[in-house]
Every structure is written in structure tokens, then in C-alpha cells.
Structure 1
Amino acid sequence: MSHEHCDKAEDPEASQKNQPWFHGKFDIEEGGIERVTDDQRQQNTTKFWNAATFWFSANMAVATLNIGSLGGSLGLGFWDSFIVILIVNLLSDLLPAWTATVGLSGLRMTTFSRYSFGYWGNMLVVVFSMVATTGWNAINSISGASVLNALSNGKFPTWAGVIVICTSVWIICALGISWIHRLDTYVWIPPLIVWCVAAGTGASSFTSEPSKHLDGANKAAAVLTYMASIFSFSVSWVNCAADYNVRMPADTPRWKIFSATYIGIFVPTVLVQTLGAAMYSGVVTNPEWKDAYTSSSIGGLLKMSLEPAGGFGKFLMVLAALSAIPNNIPNNYSFALHAQNLGPWAMRIPRIILVTFGFVVSIIVGCFAAMYFDSTLSTLLSVIGYWTVIHITVVMEEHFIFRRGWKTYDWDAWNSPAGLPFGWAAIGAFAFGFLGAALGMKVTWYAGPIASLIGKSGGNIGHELTFAFSGIVFPAFRWIEKRVGGR
């Protein structure tokens, strides 16, 4: 597809006839992945603080609580879990904060990746992004549904909760970015109240004692595996962080977007994950808490924490379950934008249809995954994290090593294969990155040969090896690609 063909202006009358039925109604977003130009951002402008409130809402969620509890299930005590949560988030949250600044180009993250992966090589990014957002939709919905299941003493099945949460998310995402930012300005407040009350009412059952006695290599393996889970949760936002800043004024300082995003992810994630680690510690000394966790996972622990609050505690559990809605908005909304990068034919499909398709797939996956939640959670977290490491490594090396700044990008070439790299270097880095993951990954059904050397059950070092393998080969491959093809 030529650059001229992509940028050719449409006939006004034909364009008017092709407008959707909801054109101009309800402030529904009509566009797709087309670059938002500087002059278009003079209307419906997004404020830089929305970058903070959006992520406050997305991370002040029961799924974040669930991730925090994984350390205890691996045998780590509260303080060990807290140290991992704090250190990993301090570093890993820098990555989505940086990609959030990409939105000032007017491009969504999956489209911006074309400048490093090439037009066709970027299909790898698109497919994995669609799989990741669908998976996270399922995981987050199940986390919220488990709270409703615990509240009803098992009478409200998890699959029904998944349908309720996914449907609510679909309605908001169908309306579009303006409605999303309006909602996320405030919806982080109710779950914050829930977590504060739960911390107070459940504190008497918390302990610093670990659920297992670990030392030496076995403890190192548990720490590494827990680090991988915390890291995967944070970097999952890398693939969509830019999508919510494309309507900010082009002259917005990048440090403002970076800082607002970093604070918006770091603060709620650390607070809620720490509470999750504390809640799991109740399992160690209290048989009732252990039974609650066995029957309803994180929902059971939350129920036990809020039990002293009586009827008010039950109301707070409903609010906690609903926190899965803003938590899932980035996944369902960005699914449509990922899909439109599949080619010119996909760009012709209205965004609202692709949002609906993502919603249906998420319900199907979520209802089935609910039956195998524990293994699904740990496996999905790891696999998503591996490919995201490759994605961000390639994009950042292209930016800092080969382009050396934002001024070297031709923003008009975003949809022109001839104006973008071939992508062979990125594809090669992708292959080598997954080789590193295969050697170092540790999930329910597989332990890589290097991972198996750490402790009795193995420790997850897949992210470290993925970064090393892809980070070393991409600059070499990219140098060759530029020498041979000139792009």
C-alpha cells in the first residue's frame, strides 16, 4: 500500500454516507487507529492528570489484590513479599510510564511498534497483544467474580460474575475514550475505601509468618517466581499505555505524562498488592481463612477480612467486585485498536464491532478459565510477560540506539510499508527472545532447563533471559537490516 494511497482524502459526500448510525450522538468515539493530528487535539482535549486517574482506577482492583497474594502461596512471608512488591514495581513501572509518552505522537502503541517491527513484522505484536488483552480480561473478570461468589456463599457462580463484569466493561468501551476518562476520574475512590476498611478489620488475623519453611535455593526460587508475577502484572500495561494519551495537546511535556502515569500505576499497585500479601498471611494461622481461600480464592480472603464490618462489609465486597470493571477497560478498549492493525481490511471494521468481538471472546475464555483459575493465572502471567519483554526491548532499542530521539520519526509514514523498516531484525529478536524464555520459564506445566536448576521445584528467570537474548541480537540484526535495506 503506497503512502499516497493511504493519505488520499475521501470525497466529503461519500464520507458522510459512510458515517455510522451513532454519528454525533452520545459522544461515542467513532475513529480507529488513524493518527490523531495536532489540530484534531484542539477539540476533546485530554488533561495530563487523566494519565494518573486512569491508572489509579485500573490498578485499584481486586485482581491487583490477587497478584499480591501469590507470594504467600509460594511460601513467602509477608515481609519477603512486601520487599519484592516494592522493588519490582519501583523498576518495572518505569516501562509503561515511558510508553505512555508515545501517545503524544497521536499513535496508539501497537501502531507505533511498526517503526521498529515494520508493517508486516508488527503482526506478531498485534496477535500477541490481542491474546494478552483477552487473557487479562478473563483473569481480571474471574478475580472480581470470585468476590461475588464468596459473598453469595457459592450461590452466584463465577461464570455468571464474569458475564456481569465483561458486559459492564463492554458498554463503557463501546462509548469510547471520552467516557472512559470521565469515569476513571472518580471510580478509583470506592475501592480505595474498601481496601482501607479491609486492612483495618482484617489486621488482627494478619501475620508475618510464612506458610512454608524455605531457605537457600528453594527460597530463591520462590522469590524469583514471585518477582516474575509482579513484573508481568506491571509490564502488561506497556502494550496499551499510549492509547489513552493520543488526545493530549502535542506540546504537553513528556515528563508530565511519564510522572502522572508512573504515580498512577505505582501507588495503587504497591498498596493493593501489599494488602493482598497481608491477607494471605491469615491462611497461616487461621483454618477458617484457609477454607475460605480454598473455596473462593481471593474473594474468600476479602470476605474474612471484612466480616467484622457486618452488613457494611458485604456492601464493600460488591464495590470490590465492581473494581474489576475499570481494571478491564484498558484490555477491552485496546483490543479493538490492536485488531485494526491487522491490515487495511481491519481498519474498515468499525471500532465498536471489534470491541464487541473482544467482549464475546473474553466471556467465553473467562467462563472456561474459571474452572482452572490458579494454574491459568500463573501460566498466563508468565507467558504474557515474556513476549512483552521482547516488545518493549525492541521498541526502546530502536528508539534510543538507532533513532536517538522523537524528531527522527516520520509520523506520516505510520501506515506506509515503504516508509517503515522491513522488520526482519525484530522478528529475529522475537525468536531469540522466546528461546531465552523457553530456557528460563517456570510455569505449572513446564520448567525450562535453566529454571529447573534453581531449588527443588525451579525458579522463574524467563524474563531475564528473554531480555538478554532479544536485547543482544536486535541491535546486531537491525544494523545489518539498515545496511542492506536502508530502512
Structure 2
Amino acid sequence: MSAPTDYYTEDKEKALGSVEDEVVYAEVAPDRVIASRFGILGPLLSRLFASGIEARGVERVPESQRVSKNVWNNLLMWWSVNAVLTTIPIGVLAQSVYTLSFGNAVATIFCFGALGGIATAFIATLGPITGLRTMIITRFSSGYFGGTIYSVLNILTQLGFSTTAVILGGQTLANINPNTLPLVVGIVIIGVCCLIPCFIGYDMVHVYERYAWMVTSIIMLFLWGLGGKAGYDVNAQKPFEDTGRALSADILSFGGIVFGSFTGWAPVAADYNCRLPADTPPIRVFLLTFFGLFIPICFVEILGAALMTITDPAYVTAFADGSTGGLIAQVLSPWGHFGQFVLVLLALSVIGNNIPNTYSTGLSIQALGRPFAIIPRFFWVFLAFVVYTVAGVAGREHFSAILSNFLSILSYWTAFFIVIVAEEHFIFRRKNGPLGGYNLDDYDSPSKLPLGIAGIVAMCFGITGAVVGMAEVWYIGPLGKMAGAAYGADLGFELAAAFAAVTYLPLRVLEIKLIGR
């Protein structure tokens, strides 16, 4: 990559005379900036970047370097990410944990899924508008420090997603030929396969996701057909379903998990289209992202719920002994060795789901601040791989508990994050609004960004709303307890969003009036 002469001269002291100069220079020539920082390692890094390893991290993508024009990648990427093995256990939870009938499970998936899809698709539209990664965009509403808090939350979120992905992929590989491949080895295999495209970077991520959906979607159709052959009984769960307030609590709690399965992508949604031209129609990005999420997630989560209606004792035993991986292996068992081959492909489909988790974890670590941003992106990606692989090995026997608790908690913070970013965008950053848009050159200048007081206080109120409304095995908030029966009803994400929404608006008005930014 050659840098424009406006920014690159032979006199490095002049070109990089200040932090602001280096930020600007890093936007147009990140490979040269990184190589210049590491002295004796510079030539090695230059060779890595020349071989195709992505150098750009959280630096803004200048309009002149936005070479990608295929907005349809939004649809194909999110389809590949979600039409995977990892999405099936979410539907399984409807019956295995919340005892919902098939009909109520489907209705819950559609309704809460639509809400989560709309929220995530909105965040995706900010990528082309700003040319920034999602966690950097939060700085315009919550300041530099507030953006750092969001980055920490997102790092934990993506590592949690990755942990559940490698556990499930490893479980499935281990069930292909029981007692042959240890679960730990299966987890490590999945982790390494996820690392490779993320280490290379943005272009390789999109290449993989552009085609992976074809294979995984066919496999999902296979599972639907084989499940039907085994015998779906849509009324099988009705005798076990709760009634009255207990049923409402089950629907709300499962709905929070479904919402989280959609909005879990919101904190990374802009990361994968920030190279689209700024004049890309936002409505096109919104619709393609929404349907890229809604269709495959609903299709696969409902498949998970449907598989739980099979009453054949062999299938019930397979689930009891091997969790979701064991159940799927049993569904494919009539096909013999070909079924085992399909199971291998299904286990490897987890790679497509885990790629954005791994890639965006590296970006979120860089977004913690300049000391982290100067370290090459691929180093943080490798560190993320090590962390979630070790966590997967340690928590491999507790997959269902990790999944249900993690996704519920995930929906809490993504709810208030989305609300705060949306209010900033539609109210304060609109064309004729108080701030008149985004001054994108300020993204890495704390003195020019908002102080973040309004965003951080609203964040605290959002957390308060989640705490009083949540209903987890280990804690039930007072409002969550009032809304449900014995185990409460999870109102965490709804109250988190509401508390943040009513708090942020007046505080941001006051902040702009007093500070001017």
C-alpha cells in the first residue's frame, strides 16, 4: 500500500510530529505506521502486511480507501454467521429450560427476534456513515472513557460467545464417533480453525462468510427433513408447559435470550461494512442486515425447538447423554457414514459463527485506548483465541448453563448500548440537530469528544434497570420477581433500555448546553 504524499514523507519526524499527525497518517497507511513503531521487528511486520495480513485496526477508513461496494455482503455474511450449529441450542432452551410448547416457542422467537434484528440492523448502518468500528462510534455518545467501558463489555461478550461456540463445536466432533476424539481436542481444533481467517483480516473474513452459508443452509434442511422422519410431535411439550403468570415468565425469560442472540451482534455490526462508501443508502444496509439476521436465526432456532419435540426414546436419551451435540448426532444417524460426514461439516460451521467474535475482540481491545491501539490487531486476535479456547476447555461440561445465563446477561447491556447510540444519532447528530452531525476527525481526540457524563450515567441507570428486572438462577430482581411466579420473569433488557432512554436524553441536552460537545 502506498500512502498519499500529503501524509507520507521521508522525514518521519515531520510526518509523525504529534499524536494527531500519527492518527491521520495511520488512517491512510496503517502498515507503515505499525512497522515504524517496532524497530527491529519492522521489516518482519512489513512482510506480514505485504503477504495479505490486515494492518488496519480501529483507525477510521478514509473515503478514498473504501474499495468495497458490494452491500449484499451484509446479507450473505450474517446469513453465514447465524445459519450454524451454534444457533440450534438457543431454540432447544425453549423446552429444555423453559418448558414452552412448540407454538409458544416459535411465537417468542419471531417477536423478540424481530425486535433484536431491528436494533442490530440500525447499528450496522453506522459503519458506512462513519467509516469507524462499532466501539469507536460509541465515543461520540459516551466519550472516550465511556467508549472504553463499552469495549470492556464487548470483549467479555465476544469471548463468551466464542467459548460457547468452541464447546458446542467440540461436543459435536466428539459425538461423531464416541470415545474416539476427546472433547478437549475437538475444542482446540475448532479454535484453531476460527483463528486463521481472523488473523489474516477483514478481506478473508468476508471471503469465508460470502460462501459458507451455502453449505450450512443445506445442512439445516437435512436436519429438518431427518427430524421430520423421526417424528415431530408439536404437542409433546404441552403437558409440561406452565400456565398463568409462570407461562408469561417463561416467555419473557426465553424472549430475553432470543433478543440477546440477535443483539449480541450489535456491538460488532458496523465492523464489517465500514469500508462501504459513505453514500451507501442506509435503508439498504438496514434491510440486508435485518434479513441476514432474522431469516437464518429464526429458521435455525425453530429447528432447535422442533428437534426437542421428537419423543423417540433413542433421541431423548441422546440429548440426555450428549446434550445438543448428541441429539444432532442421533438425528443424522440414519445416514450412517454420510451422516457422520455431515456432522463434521456441521461442527465446522461453528467457524463461521466464531469468526466475527474473534475478529471483533481484537478490535475491541484496541478500542480500549491508544496504548492498546498501537499493538497490531493480529496480536490481540491471537490472545483472544488463547483465552476462549482455555475457557472452553475449562467449562466444557457446563454448556447449557453457560449459554442460558450468558445470553440473558448479554441482552441487558446491548439493550442500553443500542438505545444510547440511537438517541445520539437520531436526536443530537441529525443534520439539523444540536450538533449537526459527526465530526469524524475527532474520533481519537478526547478533548474534542463529549465528556461522556450523560452516556456513563445513563449506562449506570441501564444497569440498575437490568438488576431490578433480571431473573436468573443466581439472582432475581424485585421487579422481575413481581412479574413472574416462583422463578420470576426476566425483564432485564426491557428495563435496561427504558431506564437508559429516559435518563440519557435530558442529561445529554444539559451536557451539550454546558460543555458544547
**What CA RMSD, in Å, does the superposition of the two structures yield over aligned residues?**
2.1
Runs of 4+ in 1 over 6 A off after TM superposition: 10-14
Q: Does 1:114 align with 2:139?
A: yes
Distance in 1, matches of 2:85 and 2:25, equals: 46
**Candidates 197, 207, 210, aligned match of 2:222:** 197
Partner AA of 2:352 in structure 1: P
State the match for 1:435 in structure 2.
Answer: 464
Distance in 2, matches of 1:2 and 1:473, equals: 38
**Candidates 334, 338, 347, aligned match of 2:360:** 334
Q: Percent identity?
A: 34
Partner AA of 2:459 in structure 1: F
State the match for 2:478 in structure 1.
Answer: 449
Q: Which shifted more, 130-139 or 376-385?
A: 376-385
Describe the SS at the equivalent of 1:446. Answer: coil
Distance in 1, matches of 2:278 and 2:465, equals: 38
- Taking the TM superposition and a 5 Å limit, the aligned residue runs for 1:18-37 are 18=42, 20-37=45-62
Distance in 1, matches of 2:50 and 2:323, equals: 42
Say whether the 8 Å CA contact 2:82–2:353 is kept in structure 1.
Answer: yes
Q: Does 1:286 align with 2:312?
A: yes
Alpha-carbon offset, residue 442 of structure 1? 1.5
State the match for 1:144 in structure 2.
Answer: 169
State the match for 2:371 in structure 1.
Answer: 345
TM-score, normalization: structure 2? 0.89
Q: Which shifted more, 331-340 or 181-190?
A: 181-190
State the match for 1:409 in structure 2.
Answer: 438
Q: Does 1:61 align with 2:84?
A: yes
Q: Which shifted more, 144-153 or 110-119?
A: 144-153
State the match for 1:462 in structure 2.
Answer: 492
Alpha-carbon offset, residue 290 of structure 1? 1.9
Instruction: Deviation per CA, 1:24-43: give whole Å up to 9, x if none.
Output: 5332211111100110114x
Alpha-carbon offset, residue 187 of structure 1? 0.8
State the match for 2:113 in structure 1.
Answer: 89
Distance in 1, matches of 2:18 and 2:259, equals: 40
State the match for 2:385 in structure 1.
Answer: 359
Q: Which has the higher contact order (CA 8 A, sep 6+)?
A: 1
Partner AA of 1:444 in structure 2: V
Describe the SS at the equivalent of 2:111. Answer: helix
Say whether the 8 Å CA contact 1:199–1:305 is kept in structure 2.
Answer: no
State the match for 2:3 in structure 1.
Answer: none
Partner AA of 1:379 in structure 2: N
State the match for 1:481 in structure 2.
Answer: 511
Q: Which shifted more, 32-41 or 157-166?
A: 157-166
Assess, with a 3 A threshold, how the Cα gap between structure 1 residues 59 and 119 changes in structure 2: closer, same or farther.
Answer: same
Assess, with a 3 A threshold, how the Cα gap between structure 1 residues 2 and 414 changes in structure 2: closer, same or farther.
Answer: farther
Distance in 1, matches of 2:162 and 2:73, equals: 22
Alpha-carbon offset, residue 465 of structure 1? 1.0
Alpha-carbon offset, residue 220 of structure 1? 0.9
Describe the SS at the equivalent of 1:22. Answer: helix
Partner AA of 2:106 in structure 1: F
Describe the SS at the equivalent of 1:370. Answer: coil
State the match for 1:76 in structure 2.
Answer: 100
State the match for 1:130 in structure 2.
Answer: 155
State the match for 1:226 in structure 2.
Answer: 254
Partner AA of 2:125 in structure 1: T
Partner AA of 1:273 in structure 2: E
Say whether the 8 Å CA contact 1:133–1:335 is kept in structure 2.
Answer: yes
Distance in 2, matches of 1:199 and 1:9, equals: 52
Alpha-carbon offset, residue 6 of structure 1? 5.2
Alpha-carbon offset, residue 288 of structure 1? 2.1
**Candidates 66, 71, 75, aligned match of 1:48:** 71
TM-score, normalization: structure 1? 0.95
Assess, with a 3 A threshold, how the Cα gap between structure 1 residues 9 and 66 changes in structure 2: closer, same or farther.
Answer: closer
Assess, with a 3 A threshold, how the Cα gap between structure 1 residues 8 and 200 changes in structure 2: closer, same or farther.
Answer: closer
Structure 1: runs of 5+ lacking an equivalent: none
State the match for 1:246 in structure 2.
Answer: 274
**Candidates 185, 188, 193, aligned match of 1:168:** 193
State the match for 2:409 in structure 1.
Answer: 383
Assess, with a 3 A threshold, how the Cα gap between structure 1 residues 213 and 89 changes in structure 2: closer, same or farther.
Answer: closer
